[in-house]
Amino acid sequence: VSTQSTWDLDSPSTFMTLVTKISGPTSLQSACTFSFHFPAVDKPYESHNGICARLRYFVRVIFSRSLLTDVVVEEDFWVQNVQAESEINAPIKMEVGIDDYLHIEFEYNKSKYHLNDVVLGKIYFLLVQIRIKHMELSIIRRETTGFGGQVAHETEQLCKYEIMDGCPARGECVPVRLFLGGYKLAPTLDRIASKFSVRYFLHLVLVDEDDRRYYKQEEIKLWRKFL
């Protein structure tokens, strides 16, 4: 099993290896089949193929030849892990404001979601002194690789939709309902082999009539409930 960063393609980091010998010295004159078995292999992390990092599970077969270069063949396989639901899943609540021009309070029903879950929330406008044109909600995926002085970030917008059109009045409440099952999401990955992380954020953006953008971003944890 190995991890690999785009800025270090020639140096993948292997953090688990199992080896078995499937044949002794022999001469191959025609097609042959060799059986192998790795019992109870621990696969703690999900496979990942992102913008700046990937995590691979693969079978590598090496044919050692005397006086000739070895023949190496690799075949990847994809791993998905079902996780248990966390007992602690607090809602997200926060109030944000811009001086005496805009104060909003938003809340999402929880902070951890399975991949087919529904994000439910409400956005309250406590003070509105600027002309809001519309409001958007998007899901952002952020990959972080490296450590120390060699840290790289890649951000990808996975979806975006408009949840409000027009300027809200003071005291207005805008409901939020976002179905996650329609998007290509994967579980949150946190410091895999101390090499990379994959995190997800709910990104709320308000756009005024001068096309100025006001935004607030909150991290959510994603997990896989079933295959």
Rg of the chain (C-alpha set): 24
Q: CA quadruple 187, 192, 196, 199: dihedral positive or negative? A: positive
Count of all residues that appear for the chain in the document: 227
pLDDT score of 124: 95
Q: CA quadruple 186, 190, 193, 195: dihedral positive or negative? A: positive
The tens digit of pLDDT for each residue in 78-123 reads 999 999 999 999 999 988 888 888 899 999 999 999 999 999 999 9
The tens digit of pLDDT for each residue in 32-85 reads 898 999 888 889 899 999 888 889 999 999 999 888 899 999 999 999 999 999
Strand, coil or helix: 12? coil
- The model's pTM is 0.88
Other CB atoms within a 10 A radius of the CB of residue 204 amount to 22
Q: Two tokens at 105?
A: 């309070």
